[in-house]
Structures are given as structure tokens and as C-alpha cells.
Amino acid sequence: MPCISVSPSLKPPSKPLWFICVLLGLLTVNSHANVVLTVPQELSLSPNMYTQQVLISWLGGSATTFDLLILRTELNETVFYETVSVTENPVSGRHQWTWTSVEPLECTSLSFQIRSRDGQKTSEWSNTQILQGNDLPSNRNFNMYPQDRIVQVGSSTTFCCIVGERKLYGSMYYNKTLLNSKRLSRRSYAVTVVHQEPSGSSGINVVCYGNSNSDLTGTVVFVGYPPRPSDFECETHDLISAVCQWSAGRDTFLYGKRKTHYLLNNRNCTDDGLLQNQKQCTVGEWNNNWTLVAVNNLGQYSLTYSAEISHRVRPVAPAKLSYVVRAWNATVLWHWKYESYSTLALVCEVELTSEGSKTNYTISGVGVRSVDLVDLNPNEEYVVQVRCGAQQNFWKWGNWSKPLLFKTNTYVPDAPDVWMWMNKDNSGQIVWKPLSKRQSHGQITGYEVRLWISEKVQHKEMVSAKTFALPFNITNPATFPSDNKVTVTVSAMNADGSSQPTEVVIPLRLKDAEPLTVSRAVYSKQGFGLFWQSDPNATSGYVVDWHDASCMHDCPVEWTKVAAENSNTFIESANFQPGVRYNISLYSCSLNAPELLQRWQGYMQELVPSTSVALSTTQQGSDIILTWTEIPLDRRRGFLLGYNVYMSNGSQLTLLANLSDLGNRSYKVKGLSEGSYKFTVKAYTSAGEDTGATASITLEPYTDWLILEILASLGITALFLVLVTFICYKKRKWVKKAFYPDIPEPKLPGDWSRTQGPLDVKPSPHSVVHIIEKPECDSSKEVLVVIPEEDEDEDGHVMGDEPVDTDEPTSLRYYNQVVDERPIRPRFPDSSASSTSSLDSARTDVTYTGIQTSGSLVFRLDPQGSSESHEHQADLSVTCGDVGGGYRPQMQPRASNDVSLASSKPFLEPQASSGGGYKPQCTWHLDSPDEAEESGDLAPSLGSPTSIASTQFLLTDGEENTEERRPLSSAAANWFTNLLSVTT
């Protein structure tokens, strides 16, 4: 209680006033201390095991707030402790509050206590109330909670496992996933699964294992959604009852006894929908207002709908369809299920399907029961379906009737599409396209072809149904009148008759006009787009044909016809192939023969050439010329843009030239050195190069120039020889005098009337001649004898037995035989000068050339010079007469006495004929070492004796005789040959 304050300037208050204030404060404190909070009484628990909720109620206490304490009984762990506000129920006087447990209530025992609270003041706790769990020692089995629980997708659920008494806990799995657990009591363990995903039709298994795999328990949890239907509406089929339909919406993932149940205007509705997500319910009477309620374990959902019956009429499908068919039309009939349709205005849709195409017809009327189908094709199958709806207040189309199949009757075929193809020799073929199934109107039995000239049939021919071309040949077209027209008509036939004939005019004469410029057609998408200028003569339109450009005679041709008012078209064909060139031609058509207007060439797709050129190489001096052939048209597979010429260097190609001129199929590689080269030529299109043709060549020296050089050298040499020969011939006397002087005959000065001594002849150094006396020789005749003489120096001194110089030619001295028969003696230095001088005057020296000496030869002579000495040590013999050979004097008759040189192995030569001139010795030997061995130790002579004054070989007897018989003119003519044989 407040006290009155007193200003300090005032006097202090009196004592009674202070006493009154203190007394009032004490009274106030005592009044508050006397308010006592009552303890809640009669605490009771009402558990709901499925919802895991406990309803707590108690009596007593005037407070409005209470403290609630919940413990796990066995482990004395706090589960819940909060202050809650609860009002008293005025009827029962009890307080009630509901608590929801996270764990199932069966998992363990829980202890509940409550007390009153007023601010900071609380009452005593109430008596403990225990909610028993299933983990009691008396329950010895494995158990798991909750059992078969249904929860919503995304929620969290706690599962507990109670192990058996005296058993050990192992682990818990949620859909085969191991979970971490916590202990609730001695035998109870719990796990919590969060954000649960939808389960299947059989739910999700939660399994608890003991310490062994045989100790286990488990439960099943179903995770789904509450129902949420949509698209709820009602309609009538028979104008009396109602059929309500709706969509079940998203899948609830709850099936069987847990599925969604529907109530229509509070009446259970049996689901008779044809589709799983589409639901339908039928009610016998129409009600303008409808309510749909969908319920499952997780919740419920409701929809409403309102409509009048006349606005919701949907007719049923027509039944019992039938038909009446003809060639070009048909009638379809049907029946209705309800008689009430006979007065109902209906609109019906007819769907006609044929050859993959669909056509819709619409008819209307009261109680429509049939429809007439027109513009059908003969001999063709059709499928028809019908559906109807209310013409007034149209709501929806009814269902389609069952399909009805029928086939129209046959009819005469359509006229075939005919064209002609002309070759360059006034021959060709009439071609026509096979009729399609829709055009033939029945099975084609054949074609009739007629040839008309001046409107008169000249020829008629029937061909089979599989023939689409007929060749023709115009013979002597010049004989046809210019006003006559040759036409061909083609008619198709089937069982119902012949088609109208199709006419085509054949040109009698091919025009030799200037060739048309060929343009390139570009392929795009599925064909070629063509454009041209209109032709006023094309009264009957245009024809565009095309064929393979590699075909030259009776080609398979395709064509299309274009109306006269068009100047462009787009040609398509399933036969177009990549890499094939097509010739496309445009013709104008009139009453006369077709006239060619324009041509194109094109490819569906250009490819690289399929073959390479044929490459060859030739050498031209130091250049190489490459030539190649043209690629055939069918192998080009594209428009050739040119050729690339490469030189191969191992695995690399070096580009030498790019030739864009297709007419130039050669290339010269200039200035190459000797060696081997390899060249490659590749043709290319817009798609690229071909594989290429390769040729190798080895560059040899230029043989033409070499031959020319040789011929020039030979020519110059021949000209020089001719010139020398001509000069020598003109100067033959001077040449003869210079190179071939006349050899003078030997002339001996002095008196030859008396008998002279022997000639001093110097023998060959390798020939030992021993002079012997032969009685059979005629001593009265002069013979040639050989006198050995010692080598002398320049002063005439004897050299003795010094070695003989074999390099000097050997000289023999010829002597005329003396009359007296004194023995021949060697010439010694002490001989009389008169004797020597007398003999020297008659001496002639003869030189032997080309003689090879095998060794030194020593002549052993009789010191007395007696001719009676018989010690013969010579190896050669010289004989006279006709039997043996020997030295013969020049121009002398045969001597009567022969002087022979003894030899152990004489060499015999044929007898030489007698004559004048020089006579060779008869014992010359061949130049052979073997002959030397046969003749003993004496080496044969290798030369021929010549005169000192001449180097000409001495002639044999035969040569001498021949020379004597040869005319002078012949000897003069052979001067050049003698010139070549001169020995210098």
C-alpha cells in the first residue's frame, strides 16, 4: 500500500502514521500466503494404439495451467515435460489433454505425472499413473510395432522392436536398408525413418533380427497419398438414367482393402470404369445435383456437379451395321439400342478408310439410321465407322461403332499414261505406265496397241498385262507425206471391258537442229525442280521425261505430264539412285508430234568416281608426258570438275597441277633428272577425288641425242676418211714415193769374172750352224754358205764369248760361193786384209726382224778350219737341193754342191719353186713355244728375212709368182693397203 510522501521541509510524521503503513503491508502478505494450489486427483489415461495418442484427464485444482511429465518407466528417461493450459469441463468437472507419442505406445511402459501451476507457484505432483507397454518380462516373444501402419508420403515413422526374454538385439532393416537404433528399455529398441517414399502394392517390409538370423520379427508399412479425384461429370445415354464419370487423379499407391472408396450422393458407388484411372458409376434416375466423395485411410475428398438431362445427352454407338455396294458408291445402314432415339434429332459422322487414307462424311436428321457413300473407287476395299451426337444442345460425340469392311464392284480401267521414246536411227518404243490398283478397277488382262496412219489402223497388237513397252521402227520416213500423221493408241483391258485409248504422236523425221544447251538440274529434298519459259505451241501441255544418261538405246524412261499453264514442275521418283546421271528432257505437246524444248542433266547425289583413269607415261628428253583416258560416264558418278596431278614421294603426294579443262587429258613434267618417278592422277567431283591411277617411269639418258651424236661422229669420221682417201688418190705418186719407194736391185761393183770368196754372214745369235760337206752337192755351182764370225767391236776386235745382245736384229751375210773348194774358215782378226777386202766388196747384208732369242748360242768350230771335221754341235741344218731347205742366193741358180748343217731334229719345209728375186729360207718356224720344244733347245725364228734397204717382208714363192702375174694397174690400186702394212 503506498504511503504519503512528506516534503523534507516539513516536520517528521508522527509515529502512529508509520505504524499504520507497516500493519497494512503485513496484512497484504498474509493474504497471498494463504492461497494454496491443490494437487490434481484421479489421473486417468485413455490410449489409442493406432493413432499413438493418450487422452489424459484429472480432477481438482483451480489453476488453468499444469505441468505434465512423462517418463519411460524402466530407464526413468524424460519423454515429455511441458506446461499446458487446460480448462475445466463444466459438466464433468475434469481437465482433459491429449498427448501424441512419437514411438508406438506398445514399445515400453510410460509414467505420467501432473501438477498445478500458478505463475511460479506449483502444487505437489499427482500420483504416478503408468501406461503399460508390451516389453514386460512376462511377454517372451519377439514383437515389432506398429503393425501394418498406413502413412502418407514424406512423413516420418518410428518403429520399435521388442526382443524375446533372455535374447539379444541384432539389427533392424527398412526395405533392406540398415538403420541406426536407440534403446528404449531393457528389451525395446527403436528406429526412425524420415521422408518415406511411396510403397508398392505389397507395402514395405521392416525386419528386426536378434543375435541370430532365426530370431526375427517384422512389420509392413504402406506409404501413399490421400485421394484427389477430378473431372467429375454426369450424362445420360437413354434419356432416363445417369452415368457419372470422373478421373481418379494421381495414384494413391494404396490397393486392395486400403484403396479409395467412392460415395455418389451418399450412396456407395461400384466402380465399373473401363480404364484404371477413369471411374464410372451408373444411377437409375437423373438428379440435377451430384456429389462425389472419395475416401481412403489417409483422408477424403469431395466434388459436386449440376446439369439438366437434356443438356447432357450422349448417344450410344450404332449397332448391327450393314452395306449395299456398287462400283462407284455404297449405302451403310445400322440400328439403335434405344427406341427413344427415333424421336431424337441426331447428327452423325461417318469415317471412311481406304488405302491408308481417311475421309469423313457428316449427316443429320431425326433418328438417322443410314448413310450413302459416293465417289468411291471400283474394286477397292473400304472400312467404315459411325458415331452420333444430339443435334440440339450438343454435348459430346457418342462412341464409334464397330468397323464395317466392304469392297466395291469392278469397272473398266482408266486410260493408261502413254509416252514414246525415240532413238537416233528412227526407231524407238511406245511405253506406258502400269495402272495402279485404284486405276485398274479390277484385274488387268492385257493391253491393246494400235498403229494409225491418216486415221486408219495399220497395225494392231495385243500384249500381256506385264508388258509396258513395245518397240517400233520407222522405215523410209522420207516416203511419208508431210501431212500424214503417225499415231499410236494404247488401251487397257480387264473383265469389264477396255479403257479409253490414249494417243501419242510419233515424229516421222528427227529434226537436225542445233543441239540444245544442256543445263544442270539441282536435286533438293526428294526430286529435281525444273523451270522453263512458256511455249505457245504447247496446247496439250508438256511432258518431262528422264532416264539414265549412260543408256543409249531403248532406254527405260520415266515421265510426267504438266499442264499447259504451268512453266515449272518438281519431278520425283523412287528409282533415283546416288551417283547416277540422269538426262531430263522437256517436250511441248500439241496435235502434232512432240517437240523437244530443253534438256537438263543432274545427279540425285554426286559421289567420287568409282574407277580411275588409265594412266600412261612417255619420256621426251628430260621431260615426262602423262596421258590418261576419259572415265566412262557410268563410272563418273558426278560432274567431273577436273584432274589433280601428283608426284608420289613415298607415302606423300605432292600436287603438281590442277587441270580444270576436262578436254585436256595430258600433262608434261619438265626438267627432270635421271631416276625413277611415280605419278598419280586423280579425277574429282564435288564429292571429292577418286582413288587415283599411279604410273611409274625410270628416266633414262636421252637415247635419241646419243644416237645423233654417234651418227654425227661416224659421219665426220667417214667424211674425213673419204677426204684423206681422195687426197691420197690424187697424190698417189707422192705417197708411193714417200712411203713405198722402189727397192733397187743389188749391184755389186768390181770384177766378178773370177771366183770370189764366201760372204761374211753374221749368223743368228741363237742358231748354231755347222758347215758340213755334202758330196752330193754340185761344187761347181754357187751356193750360199754361212760363216760364223765372232762379235767385233767398232775397231774389228773379237769380242769372244761375251753375251750376245738379243735386242739387235741379227744380220746374215750372203756370199757367192768361190770356185775353189777351200774349206770355209772362220774369219779371224789376223786374216789378210786383201782377202777380207776382196770379200767385203761382194757382201750383202740381210737383216732378220722380229727374232726372239731364247738364250746365247755358242758356235764351236774346228780351229784348223778343216771341212773334214765331224764334231757337229749345231741344232739346225741347212740343206740344198729339192729335198731339204737352206739358204739360197738371190737371183742365183741352184748350186751343184750342197752344204748342210747337221742337226739332230731337222725342220722340213715344202720345196719352194725356183725363180728369181729373194728366196726365203725353207726352215722358218712357227712362233710357238711348243715347236721350240719339238725342235730341241733351239727357239724358233719368229720373223721373216728382209733386205737391209727395205722393210717389206720377203715374199714366199707363191706370193712372188702371184706378184709377177699381177698387172701394174692392180699393184698401183692397192697402194693404200700396202701403206697400212708398212713396218716402221
Burial class (CB in 10 A: 0-12, 13-18, 19+), 930: exposed
pLDDT at 64 (0 to 100): 86
Q: Are the beta carbons of 829 and 776 closer than 8 angstroms? A: no
**DSSP-H helix ranges across 303-431:** none
Q: Are the beta carbons of 334 and 353 closer than 8 angstroms? A: no
- DSSP-derived letter for residue 963 is H
> Three-class SS of residue 474?
coil
Give domain 615-703's CATH architecture: Sandwich (2.60)
pLDDT at 672 (0 to 100): 85
Structural domain spans, the chain: 41-131, 143-224, 230-311, 319-408, 424-603, 615-703
Closest CA to 296 of 264, 233, 266, 251: 251
- DSSP-derived letter for residue 792 is B
The verdict on pTM exceeding 0.85 is: no
Residue 729: which H helix or E strand, with range? helix 703-730
Q: Are the beta carbons of 417 and 435 closer than 8 angstroms? A: no
Taking every pair of Cα atoms in the chain, the longest distance, rounded to a whole number of angstroms, is 233
- Strands 427-432 and 418-422: what pairing? antiparallel
Q: Which amino acid is at 709?
A: E
Q: Which amino acid is at 21?
A: C
Closest CA to 338 of 473, 432, 429, 241: 241
Fold of 230-311: Immunoglobulin-like (2.60.40)
Chain centroid offset of residue 984 CA:
84
Residue with cell 529434298: 525
Sign of the CA dihedral running 908, 909, 911, 913: negative
> Three-class SS of residue 971?
helix
Tell me which CATH code domain 424-603 carries. Answer: 2.60.40.10
Residue 3: which H helix or E strand, with range? none
> Three-class SS of residue 294?
strand
Q: Are the beta carbons of 384 and 406 closer than 8 angstroms? A: yes
CA-CA distance, 258 to 201, in Å (whole number)? 10
- List the beta strands (DSSP E) in 507-634: 518-520, 523-524, 527-531, 542-548, 558-562, 568-572, 581-588, 595-603, 615-620, 623-628
DSSP string spanning 265-284? TTEE-----SSSSEEEEEES
Fold of 41-131: Immunoglobulin-like (2.60.40)
> Three-class SS of residue 861?
coil
pLDDT at 772 (0 to 100): 53
Domain 319-408 indexed as CATH 2.60.40.10: yes
Examine domains 41-131 and 143-224 and report if their fold is the same: yes
**Residue 44 grid cell:** 486417468
Mean pLDDT by groups of 10 residues along the chain of 984 residues: 34 50 52 66 93 92 87 94 91 91 95 92 92 89 92 95 90 93 94 95 93 87 95 93 92 92 89 74 90 94 93 95 94 94 94 91 93 93 96 94 96 94 86 92 94 84 93 74 78 94 82 70 91 92 93 90 93 93 93 90 93 91 90 92 91 90 91 88 93 88 73 92 90 83 71 54 52 47 43 43 41 42 42 37 41 34 36 34 41 37 34 40 42 41 42 42 40 45 40
Fold of 143-224: Immunoglobulin-like (2.60.40)
**DSSP-H helix ranges across 413-494:** 437-440
DSSP string spanning 174-235? ETTEEE--EE-SSSEEEEEE-SPPPP-TT-EEEEEEESSTTSEEEEEEEEE-----EEEEEE
